[in-house]
Structure 1
Amino acid sequence: MDSVDRQVLSEVRRWAEQGYRFALVTVVRTWGSAPRPAGAWMALRQDGRVCGSVSGGCIEDDLIGRLRAGELAGDLPFSQTYGVTRAEAERFGLPCGGTLELVIEPRPCVSLLAQLEEELACGRLVVRSLTLATGQASLADAVPGESIHWDGKLLRTPHGPAWRLLIIGAGQISRYLAEMAQALDYAVTICDPRPEYRDAWQVPGSRLADGMPDDVVQAMRPDPHLAVVAVTHDPKLDDLALLEALKSPAFYVGALGSRRNNARRRERLMQYFDLSAEQVGRLHGPVGMAIGSRTPPEIALSILAEMTATKYGIVTRTADNGPYRHESTAAAKAAVAGPPLA
């Protein structure tokens, strides 16, 4: 669930407190190049006010028109598809002939949405289930990595921090990295056993861990939705984190430092920590995409750019860990592929 959809939750709570009725719209399936991903939310207030989005604007306009025409006045949720034909896709402004399938809830349960907002504020991962035949909705704990489910009858949408970032070191770069990562909907943990750094840490929304880096990595139970970035410049701390992270399923493991320092780091990891060449080869170091970054905010930006490219499988390094080459992998292509329009 991204930050835009969290804004929807916050806004509909205010609408309900003010006595307004609203409809909740969820993107449940896309084909082709759709503007918003499956799971995206939009709320539509009874007077036509909108929060969130499901497209570039044309579908929103159509839904507002249907609302004012009284077509969204029922009680039970239903599905609606836009862009079935190329002419319709062009009419609604869907790029590249895209198609969207939506689930529209004319009367969502306000108390359940308030409960969902509270769960997310506590950092929990929650799945919301909706049965179209009855309009019954419920909340339950979600499984990490769970994706949206839609079979035409039951809609299950996971909400909460699907991606996690562990930063080793509570310095200046870490502050910018944590703030930017939270804007990209990462749940951020900072690990620094040094009290002089840890006590000065002030980034709301992040979690501070004071254990040793290897213990913290293990405690987080790394999975393919975790990134680990070491930025202390202290091998006694960074190497401990890398030792555990490089053996784990974490999708991204990076360390700050020059090419020379990273070459020495790789030698240490293989010689003293008994990591294989394949495991050490997973290390992104020097960390970050080569964008000429110099300042702490620019370095943080380069790290998140590389993390994003790695997450979507569209960037790799050369064999000598030199300049980047960009590749659209089969997985990335499949994410935007779909059946041709009529």
Structure 2
Amino acid sequence: MESLDQQVLDAMGRWHAQGHRFALVTVAQTWGSAPRQPGAWLALCDDGRVQGSVSGGCIEDDLIERMRSGTLRAAGAAPTLVTYGGTREAARRYGLPCGGTLALVVEPEPDLASLQQLQQGILAGRLMRRRVDLRGGSVTVVDADARPEVQWDGEVLSTTHGPRWRLLVIGAAQTARFLVPIAQSLGFAVSVCDPRPEYHSEWDVPDAPWLPGMPDDVVLAMRPDPHTAVVALTHDPKLDDLALIEALRSPAYYVGALGSVANNEVRRARLCEHFELTKAEVDRLHGPIGLPIGSRTPPEIAVAIAAQMVAVRHGARANAPAAQVAWPASRTPVCQAG
């Protein structure tokens, strides 16, 4: 499954190839409650087709009508600022929460070359930054760093696109087949590692490259950063544990392992006693993995894992029942506090 940005870019490429005109709308800023966040995209085709969204639907309806009638291009091809909401009446009319306001940058004729450059960078796995200057109408695309995803000063809008987040899935069994497309739709670039040949021969999930080698070597080669998640799903300590050791020692923002409460308590004790991880490192492990939603089937477990990755990514409270080990008072754990 493609990311939302990629779906919008693909749609505009199709429409151009079919000889249609199209417009691109970006949420620049919101006030109060708003259905979509800054940076959200909506592409509009001259025949009424749309891809993406900037609201719950009513704003899209208005923009579609303006696109069909030609009024969206009335001021020319240069990017313009359009504001919706601001009053209770306007909020009700456009389906915005009470008091909500959206500032949208509308590009009636977006620069095709810059869109193609942006798409090529994303497909190559690079983080890209797109800058729209309303003062002169210029659009530029450059490689990005870790700066904020959206910057808007009232005249210049900068948005970041691409695989900002990475996910390494260890274990290519059934749960992985459901987790991978969910994670991709959430903006993760997903890779899969499983040294068992019987799983490799059957792996056919699109856009999820298979990384050869033992999981711990793959984790080291991947060099996890604070935008990386590592999920161990083999349920085999010989494969999961060594990878978890390297992941827990890395800056990876999320590390999780499949298994029951009891299984994960044993795993934590084993990681401390035999592999000399600190207690702080082991306490970073999410296990049982995923939010506690009563999941039992592989697709339900995948949903729970993805939800927890998003919660941790946004700093929300990600409830994991076994996140801490209650060490028996009768012995001192090998794990040290620092």
What is the aligned partner in structure 2 of residue 44 from structure 1? 44
Distance across 2 between alignment mates of 1:200 and 1:60: 42
Q: Give the counterpart letter for 1:46 in structure 2.
A: D
Distance across 1 between alignment mates of 2:228 and 2:247: 9
Alignment of 1:78-89 (within 5 A): 78-89=80-91
What is the aligned partner in structure 1 of residue 143 from structure 2? 141
Which runs of no fewer than 5 residues in structure 2 stay unpaired? 325-338
Q: Give the counterpart letter for 1:121 in structure 2.
A: L
Classify 1:18/1:173 alpha carbon distance in 2 versus 1 (closer, same or farther; 3 Å): closer
Which runs of no fewer than 5 residues in structure 1 stay unpaired? 323-342
What is the aligned partner in structure 2 of residue 14 from structure 1? 14
SS at match of 1:51: strand
Q: Give the counterpart letter for 1:19 in structure 2.
A: G
Which of residues 284, 287, 299 in structure 2 aligns to 1:285? 287
Which of residues 277, 301, 304 in structure 2 aligns to 1:302? 304
Which of residues 249, 252, 271 in structure 2 aligns to 1:250? 252
TM-score normalized by structure 2?
0.87
SS at match of 1:26: strand
Alignment of 1:41-190 (within 5 A): 41-67=41-67, 68=69, 70-73=71-74, 74-144=76-146, 146-190=148-192
What is the aligned partner in structure 2 of residue 193 from structure 1? 195
What is the aligned partner in structure 1 of residue 229 from structure 2? 227
Distance across 1 between alignment mates of 2:292 and 2:71: 54
Give the deviation of 1:145 after TM superposition: 6.4
What is the aligned partner in structure 2 of residue 27 from structure 1? 27
Classify 1:237/1:14 alpha carbon distance in 2 versus 1 (closer, same or farther; 3 Å): same
Distance across 2 between alignment mates of 1:11 and 1:71: 19
Residue pair 1:90, 1:97 contacting (<8 A) in 2 also: no
Distance across 1 between alignment mates of 2:285 and 2:127: 28
Give the deviation of 1:105 after TM superposition: 0.9
Classify 1:151/1:272 alpha carbon distance in 2 versus 1 (closer, same or farther; 3 Å): same
Give the deviation of 1:165 after TM superposition: 1.0
Give the deviation of 1:71 after TM superposition: 4.8
Distance across 2 between alignment mates of 1:69 and 1:276: 64
Residue pair 2:77, 2:108 contacting (<8 A) in 1 also: yes
Residue pair 2:232, 2:240 contacting (<8 A) in 1 also: yes
Classify 1:215/1:17 alpha carbon distance in 2 versus 1 (closer, same or farther; 3 Å): same
Give the deviation of 1:215 after TM superposition: 2.5
String of CA shifts for 1:21-73, please: whole Å, max 9, x gaps. Answer: 22211011112221112111112233444332211222223334444263523
Residue pair 1:41, 1:54 contacting (<8 A) in 2 also: yes
Distance across 2 between alignment mates of 1:63 and 1:318: 43
SS at match of 1:175: helix
Classify 1:200/1:47 alpha carbon distance in 2 versus 1 (closer, same or farther; 3 Å): closer
Residue pair 1:125, 1:142 contacting (<8 A) in 2 also: yes
What is the aligned partner in structure 1 of residue 243 from structure 2? 241
String of CA shifts for 1:114-148, please: whole Å, max 9, x gaps. Answer: 33233333333211122222222122112246411
Q: Give the aligned CA root-mean-square deviation in angstroms.
A: 2.2
SS at match of 1:104: strand
What is the aligned partner in structure 1 of residue 328 from structure 2? none
TM-score normalized by structure 1?
0.86
What is the aligned partner in structure 1 of residue 336 from structure 2? none
Classify 1:107/1:200 alpha carbon distance in 2 versus 1 (closer, same or farther; 3 Å): same
Distance across 2 between alignment mates of 1:15 and 1:310: 37
Classify 1:261/1:77 alpha carbon distance in 2 versus 1 (closer, same or farther; 3 Å): same
Residue pair 2:292, 2:320 contacting (<8 A) in 1 also: no
